């Protein structure tokens, strides 16, 4: 909000740092989870932690390609299946693992995941039925009537059009990225087969997304603008069972939320007529009967019901507070509270011009809801909607100068979550020109300060069920290793990390340093301690003889750079003898530094290093005026 030279006694830039007790420090490290370093297909867009009645700890992770569980340091695939396609046969070739699946007008696309049921193996191939039924396959080389899969082993013989099976596709979640719609879709339906799609479009296809919650030990998972599914953690062999469609529920819903206190399930932006997807209204809300998530038709003897919000164009997100549900449209805020029969819920508008930017861009913490607005700025609700003053607002929302503002064309993937360990709310967002989250802005409400960083996470969950925050990092070019046979990197992969552990990044590639830094604004000196004799800021060149490093915490080494400049419009450069390597035994550092303006930069660049900086102590004196 101010220039570097106007920010004397302030910090103006940094990466991978936070403030504690008023002092800047490097953030904690992160380490890859799962015993075999498993990675998930697609971009993870939602997480939800819960426990079974038996005390089993789960985290549900919804990606653009499926629905998965994290349990006991490994992943499980519970992705629901779409309607089966019967009547498939197989072609196989001796010595090849590629099998062609024959099915007229199957309507599947390259990259879709499928499994098989009711299998008769192709003649002479040497495969067993479980080679098909126990694996999930990525399909390729799609034509109107065929596609290829890669088997775990080579075929023992050659055959054509033999065997039989039902194709069971994974439910379609949506595009990996937010993109324009071009006629037939955004994947690879062939123009030769399906007709040539338009080359331009004003239609935006939202990225594949999930809303996740639990009704006791029942996971409730809703595909954005799609169906709602349930998975019972208490069922026998639960981790080997896929989620299934919620009976009696609407079939097209933007998001769902469990009202924990009174045990209703809300469907936001849903159908006015259950089962008729053409009746979906983005401002319409339907809630279930109390203690019964399968009943949504209101009667005189149940508490199911409906209502419609009137301020805004679309319901964007919702979160449960202490005794309310806060619902945010693209322009307004509403509070829904349980009041009992005969009306069940009260609905009250509590804010305008404060709309939510993305489904997951809000977080509840310690009685307060925080969110990022699509209209610019940040808001909170603690009984009243309030704008949060933000010193990095220009940096986050504009792209002029050095600002790394948000890419509004990909804003649907913004993700917010609370970090209880440090009283922080993190918003991960895509900077201008990026299609995935590669920046983070953090509000520390305990310290009442803001920081920014290049930490990019597609989803994040606070500690609670597990002792540390867990987050996903999505890389568009990575190939997942779970759970698809013959998988490619067409949809990228998500790596799962435990955060606030150690000092470095630890994953299957090894241990790498988290290079953190913080830089101060400029300061200068006057020629006298007598206030009556002050000549004005910036009048004198200063000479720095030495400085005394002051670290509250220092593990390993740190570097300090003295950045010198003669004018605010100039380019600062390091002092001749710098940068200076600081260890825990460094008492003082002799320098040869001369300039009108001076800034200090503290950083680290090696593994095993961490620090918390204290106070700058320097030996300076006037050294002429030019």
pLDDT band at 179 (very low <50, low <70, confident <90, very high): low
Per-residue confidence (pLDDT) for residue 620, from 0 to 100: 82
- pLDDT of residue 186 exceeding 50, the answer is no
Identify the DSSP state of 420.
G
Please give the pLDDT value at position 525: 67
The predicted structure's pLDDT at residue 188? 37
Out of 122-131, 172-181, 221-230, 492-501, which region has the weakest mean confidence (pLDDT)?
Answer: 172-181
pLDDT of residue 473: 98
Q: Percent of the chain having pLDDT more than 90?
A: 81
**Rounded distance between C-alpha atoms, residue 451 and residue 441, angstroms:** 6
pLDDT mean over 254-273:
96
> What count of other Cβ atoms lies within 10 Å of the Cβ of residue 99?
24
Give me the pLDDT at residue 578, please. Answer: 87
User: Stretch 61-70: mean pLDDT, rounded?
Assistant: 98
Question: Cα–chain-centroid distance for residue 620?
Answer: 47
Radius of gyration of the chain (CA): 28
Quick one: the chain helix, strand, coil %, rounded to 5?
5, 45, 50
Given a cut of 70, is residue 214 above it in pLDDT? Answer: yes
The CA distance from 107 to 496, in Å, is: 33
pLDDT at 505: 98
For residues 36 and 621, is the Cβ–Cβ distance under 8 A?
no
Look at residue 368 and give its three-state secondary structure.
Answer: strand
pLDDT for residue 538: 61
Q: Is residue 329 very low, low, confident or very high in pLDDT (cuts 50, 70, 90)?
A: very high
The predicted pLDDT at position 621 comes to 82
> What is the mean pLDDT of the segment spanning 315-322?
95
Q: Rounded to the nearest 5°, which phi and psi values hold at 498?
A: -90, 130
| Reported confidence tier of residue 467, pLDDT bands at 50, 70, 90 | very high
Kindly state the tokens that stand for 489. 């990197």
Residue 183 has pLDDT above 70, yes or no: no
And the tokens for 134? 């126990």
Q: Residue 218: what pLDDT?
A: 98
pLDDT at position 185 is 42
pLDDT at 533 over 50: no
Mean pLDDT of 107-131: 97
pLDDT of residue 567: 79
The mean pLDDT of 108-136, rounded to a whole number, is: 97
Q: What is this structure's pTM?
A: 0.93
5 vs 328, which has greater pLDDT? Answer: 328
Residue 604, judged by CB atoms within 10 A of its CB (0-12, 13-18, 19+), counts as: buried
As a whole number, the mean pLDDT across the chain is 92
pLDDT tens-place string over residues 11-30: 999 999 999 999 999 999 99
Q: Is the dihedral of CA 514, 518, 519, 523 positive or negative?
A: negative
At 331 the pLDDT is: 97
**Tokens 């990197």 correspond to what residue?**
489
Instruction: Give the per-residue pLDDT at 575.
Output: 87
pLDDT for res 509: 95
Buried b / exposed e along 528-549 (16+ C-beta atoms within 10 A) = eeeeeeeeebbebbbbbeebeb
User: For 191, phi and psi rounded to 5 degrees?
Assistant: -65, -35
Residue with tokens 């101060």: 520
> Is the omega angle on the peptide bond into residue 342 within 30 degrees of 0, that is, cis?
yes
User: Six-digit token pair at 246?
Assistant: 């919620």
State the pLDDT at residue 197: 47
The predicted pLDDT at position 193 comes to 35
In angstroms, the first-to-last Cα distance of the chain is 30
* Confidence class for position 405, pLDDT limits 50, 70, 90: very high
Q: Is the pLDDT of residue 304 over 70?
A: yes
Q: In this model, does residue 194 exceed pLDDT 80?
A: no
Is pLDDT of 163 > 60?
yes
Closest by alpha carbon to 266, among 381, 352, 181, 347?
347
Could you give the count of Cα atoms lying within 13 Å of 379 in the half-sphere of its Cβ?
26
Q: Please provide residue 129's backbone torsions phi and psi, each rounded to the nearest 5 degrees.
A: -60, -35
Mean pLDDT for 293-302 is 96
- At residue 305, the pLDDT reads 96
Cα 519 from chain centroid?
28
- DSSP, collapsed to helix, strand or coil, labels residue 555 as strand
Query: Tokens 């220039």, residue?
Result: 3
Cβ atoms of 327 and 336 within 8 Å: the answer is yes
Among 111-120, 340-349, 415-424, which stretch is predicted with the lowest mean pLDDT?
A: 340-349
Strands 484-485 and 493-499: unpaired
How many CA within 13 A on the CB side of residue 151?
Answer: 28
237 contact partners, CB below 8 Å, separation of at least 6: none
Q: Is the pLDDT of residue 5 over 70?
A: no
Reply yes or no on whether the pLDDT at 199 is more than 90. no
CA distance 114 to 485: 10
Q: Please name each of the domains of the chain with its CATH number.
A: 11-27+515-622 (2.60.120), 85-169 (2.40.30.20), 210-320 (no CATH)
Of 463, 448, 458, 408, which Cα lies nearest the Cα of 432?
408
Bond from prior residue into 49 cis (ω within 30 degrees of 0) = no
Q: Name the DSSP letter for residue 389.
A: P
**Nearest 5°: phi and psi at 240?**
-105, 10
3-state secondary structure of 265: strand
């Amino acid at each position: 909000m101010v220039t570097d030279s106007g920010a004397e006694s302030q910090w103006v830039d940094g990466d991978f740092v936070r403030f504690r007790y008023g002092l800047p420090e490097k953030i904690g490290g992160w380490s890859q989870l799962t015993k075999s370093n498993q990675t998930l297909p697609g971009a993870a867009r939602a997480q939800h932690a819960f426990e079974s009645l038996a005390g089993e700890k789960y985290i549900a992770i919804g990606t653009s390609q499926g629905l998965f569980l994290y349990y006991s340091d490994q992943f499980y695939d519970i992705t629901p299946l779409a309607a089966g396609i019967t009547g498939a046969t197989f072609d196989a070739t001796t010595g090849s693992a590629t099998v062609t699946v024959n099915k007229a007008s199957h309507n599947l696309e390259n990259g879709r995941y499928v499994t098989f049921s009711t299998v008769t193996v192709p003649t002479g191939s040497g495969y067993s039925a479980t080679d098909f039924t126990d694996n999930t396959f990525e399909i390729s080389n799609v034509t109107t009537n065929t596609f290829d899969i890669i088997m775990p082993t080579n075929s023992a013989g050659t055959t054509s059009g033999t065997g039989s099976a039902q194709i069971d596709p994974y439910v379609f979640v949506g595009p990996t990225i937010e993109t324009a719609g071009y006629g037939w879709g955004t994947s690879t339906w062939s123009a030769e087969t399906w007709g040539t799609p338009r080359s331009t479009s004003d239609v935006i296809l939202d990225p594949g997304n999930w809303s996740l919650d639990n009704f006791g030990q029942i996971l409730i998972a809703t595909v954005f603008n799609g169906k709602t599914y349930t998975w019972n953690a208490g069922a026998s062999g639960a981790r080997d069972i896929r989620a299934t469609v919620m009976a009696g529920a609407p079939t097209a819903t933007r998001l769902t939320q469990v009202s924990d206190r009174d045990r209703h399930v809300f469907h936001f932006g849903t159908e006015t007529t259950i089962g008729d997807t053409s009746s979906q209204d983005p401002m319409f809300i339907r809630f279930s009967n109390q203690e019964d998530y399968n009943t949504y038709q209101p009667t005189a003897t149940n508490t199911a019901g409906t209502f419609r919000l009137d301020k805004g164009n679309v319901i964007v997100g919702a979160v449960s507070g202490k005794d309310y549900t806060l619902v945010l449209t693209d322009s307004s805020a509403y509070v829904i509270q349980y009041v009992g029969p005969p009306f069940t819920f009260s609905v009250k508008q509590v804010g305008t011009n404060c709309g939510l930017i993305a489904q997951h861009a809000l977080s509840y913490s310690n009685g307060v809801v925080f969110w990022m607005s699509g209209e610019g700025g940040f808001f909170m609700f603690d009984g009243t909607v309030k704008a949060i003053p933000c010193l990095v607002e220009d940096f986050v929302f504009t792209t002029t100068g050095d600002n790394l503002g948000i890419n509004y064309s990909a804003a649907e993937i913004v993700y917010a979550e609370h970090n209880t360990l440090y009283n922080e709310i993190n918003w991960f967002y895509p900077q201008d020109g990026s299609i995935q989250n590669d920046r983070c802005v953090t509000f520390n409400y305990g310290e009442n300060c803001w920081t920014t960083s290049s930490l990019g996470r597609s989803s994040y969950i606070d500690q609670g069920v597990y002792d540390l925050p867990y987050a996903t990092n999505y890389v568009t070019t990575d190939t997942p290793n779970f759970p698809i046979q013959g998988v490619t990197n067409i949809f990228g992969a998500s790596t799962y990390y435990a955060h606030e552990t150690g000092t470095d990044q630890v994953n299957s590639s090894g241990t790498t340093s988290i290079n953190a830094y913080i830089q101060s604004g400029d300061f200068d000196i006057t020629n006298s301690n007598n206030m009556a004799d002050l000549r004005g800021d910036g009048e004198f060149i200063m000479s720095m003889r030495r400085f005394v490093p002051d670290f509250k915490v220092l593990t390993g080494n740190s570097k300090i750079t003295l950045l010198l400049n003669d004018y605010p419009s100039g380019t600062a450069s390091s002092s001749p003898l710098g940068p200076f390597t600081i260890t825990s035994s460094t008492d003082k550092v002799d320098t040869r530094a001369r300039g009108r303006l001076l800034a200090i930069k503290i950083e680290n660049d090696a593994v095993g290093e961490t620090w918390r900086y204290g106070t700058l102590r320097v030996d300076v004196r006037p050294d002429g005026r030019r």
